[in-house]
């Protein structure tokens, strides 16, 4: 079952005595307050690149509760990032019980961009029965073993839930942007009729050349993620669009993905200006199956480096714009370069800095 998994676990066993010794006296509780045993090196398997059986086990628990995620995303991340992707599960030894997940993606700068690679950390989750100092120390160990081998610069959009971990791992909690989120019920949304979309031509992302999408993405984020951006915009459960001006120049792209949970996630939405962003979103909304009872709500994120952060969406709402702060772009040594001017909505936060 765990054939390709044990290297890191063995290293942890041999080289991290601090993982257990320093905290042996603490009492650990499950989510409903019952005492649990401490996590030790000897009762865990640290599984790099988990197999389908373990992914099924994860899906049976937290995986199916996460509204903006589906099982196929893991295959997509593996396929599009290839050797730059590493998924790690922590499993109770001798079982299929997944108690923690994390992943890391290495982003190399484009050839004409001067920077070192950074490693993006995300997909942090600890089973509620195993949260505590022991699992956090284990996570730090796994993260450092992962990131140190490819890059000295770790990046993450850290949520309040993972901020302590970040600070302890890297010694500071300085951050770049603040990410906010808005949720809207389906009946709070509308398709405005009077938007001026003249001169903006919208095409399906599946029908345009790869280069149109990739080149535009590179003007915002000068790091290699070409296969990923194509996969997101052409997701079979999404509505990926690319906008052109009348001379055939790309002026934006965006998608809404409807997850099996019914969550309608707008991510990303990049555009030259607000009029283009609105034209893309309008085109998508005209194709959403509004009468499908499974649709849960709209989920929209944005970052505070953008002037009038969520203002562009107001014509699509029957209610005032709402937002709540959700995460901070934290970094180990320095921030990646991000050209924020075109960013109306960032990419999925678990995978990229923007
Ligand atoms: C994110 C998540 C893994 C964090 O776990 P957590 O147990 O809630 O984290 P905490 O910050 O409370 O840490 C637990 C304890 O370990 C300590 N700790 C954190 N990192 C540590 C480290 N590297 N070394 C030693 N101790 C550490 C904390 O200080 C805390 O102890 P305290 O309460 O005495 O201060 C967990 O909340 C989770 O799975 N949430 C759902 C998914 C999610 O929100 N993911 C985040 C996406 S970025």
Structure confidence by residue, pLDDT tens digits, 254-279: 999 999 999 999 999 999 999 999 99
48-59 burial code (b ≥16 CB/10 A, e <16): bebeeebbebbb
Looking at residue 351, what is its pLDDT?
97
6-152 and 179-345 share one CATH topology? yes
Q: Which atom of ligand 1 is nearest to the CA of 159?
A: 48
Assess whether pLDDT exceeds 90 at residue 54.
yes
Q: Which residues line ligand 1 (CB under 6 A)?
A: 124-126, 131-133, 136-137, 140, 158-159, 161-162, 164-165, 168-169
Tokens of 55: 């992914």
Q: Where are the alpha helices (DSSP H) in the chain?
A: 6-15, 18-21, 52-58, 64-65, 72-81, 133-148, 160-170, 210-218, 226-233, 274-285
Predicted confidence (pLDDT) per residue in 132-162, tens digit: 999 999 999 888 876 555 578 999 999 999 9
Report the sign of the C-alpha dihedral through residues 19, 161, 348, 296, in that order.
Answer: positive
CATH number assigned to the domain with residue range 6-152, chosen from the 4 options 1.20.120, 3.40.50, 3.40.630, 2.60.40: 3.40.630
Q: What percent of the chain has pLDDT over 90?
A: 86
Q: Compute the residue count for the chain.
A: 354
Pocket test for ligand 1, best of 104, 136, 166, 173 (most atoms within 8 A of CB): 136
Residue nearest ligand 1's atom 29 by CA: 164
CA of 102 relative to ligand 1 center, distance in Å: 13
Average pLDDT over residues 211-219: 98
Cβ-based neighbours of 76, under 8 Å, separated by 6 or more: 228, 231, 235
Looking at residue 13, what is its pLDDT?
41
179-345: CATH topology: Aminopeptidase (3.40.630)
Looking at residue 19, what is its pLDDT?
54
Looking at residue 244, what is its pLDDT?
98
Peptide bond into 268 cis (omega under 30): yes
Q: Which atom of ligand 1 is nearest to the CA of 158?
A: 48
User: Strand 98-107 and strand 85-92: pairing?
Assistant: antiparallel
Q: Which atom of ligand 1 is nearest to the CA of 127?
A: 39
Contact (CB, 8 A) for 101 and 88? yes
Tokens of 120: 């993006």
Cα separation, 217 vs 68, whole angstroms: 22
Contact (CB, 8 A) for 170 and 213? no
pLDDT tier at 163, thresholds 50, 70, 90: very high
Residue nearest ligand 1's atom 7 by CA: 131
Pocket test for ligand 1, best of 155, 161, 178 (most atoms within 8 A of CB): 161
**How do the domains of the chain map onto residue ranges?**
6-152, 179-345
Looking at residue 185, what is its pLDDT?
96
Q: What is the largest CA-CA distance in the chain?
A: 69
């Amino acid at each position: 079952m765990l054939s390709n998994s044990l290297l890191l676990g063995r290293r942890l066993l041999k080289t991290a005595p601090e993982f257990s010794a320093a905290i042996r006296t603490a009492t650990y509780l499950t989510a409903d307050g019952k005492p649990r045993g401490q996590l030790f090196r000897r009762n865990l398997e640290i599984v790099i690149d988990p197999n389908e059986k373990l992914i099924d086990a994860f899906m049976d628990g937290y995986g199916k509760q996460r509204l903006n995620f589906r099982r196929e995303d893991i295959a997509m991340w593996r396929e599009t990032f290839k050797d730059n992707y590493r998924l790690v599960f922590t499993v109770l030894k001798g079982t299929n019980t997944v108690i923690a997940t994390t992943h890391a993606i290495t982003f190399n700068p484009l050839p004409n961009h001067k920077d070192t690679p950074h490693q993006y950390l995300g997909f942090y989750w600890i089973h509620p029965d195993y949260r505590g100092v022991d699992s956090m120390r284990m996570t730090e160990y796994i993260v450092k073993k992962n990131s140190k081998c490819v890059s000295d610069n770790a990046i993450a959009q850290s949520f309040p839930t993972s901020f302590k971990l970040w600070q302890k791992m890297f010694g500071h909690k300085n951050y770049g942007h603040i990410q906010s989120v808005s949720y809207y019920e389906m009946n709070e949304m509308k398709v405005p009729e009077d938007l001026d979309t003249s001169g903006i031509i919208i095409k399906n992302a599946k029908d345009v050349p790869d280069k149109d999408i990739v080149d535009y993405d590179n003007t915002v984020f000068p790091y290699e993620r070409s296969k990923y951006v194509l996969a997101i915009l052409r997701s079979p459960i999404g509505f990926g669009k690319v906008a052109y001006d009348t001379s055939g120049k790309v002026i934006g792209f965006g998608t809404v993905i409807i997850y099996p949970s019914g969550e309608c996630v707008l991510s990303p939405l990049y555009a030259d200006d607000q009029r283009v962003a609105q034209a893309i979103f309008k085109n998508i909304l005209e194709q959403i199956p509004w009468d499908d009872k499974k649709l849960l709500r709209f989920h929209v994120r944005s970052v505070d480096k953008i002037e009038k952060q969520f203002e562009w969406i107001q014509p699509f709402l029957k209610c005032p714009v709402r937002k709540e702060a959700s995460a901070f772009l934290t970094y180990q040594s320095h921030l990646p370069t991000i050209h924020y001017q075109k960013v109306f909505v960032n990419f999925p936060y678990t995978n990229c800095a923007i």
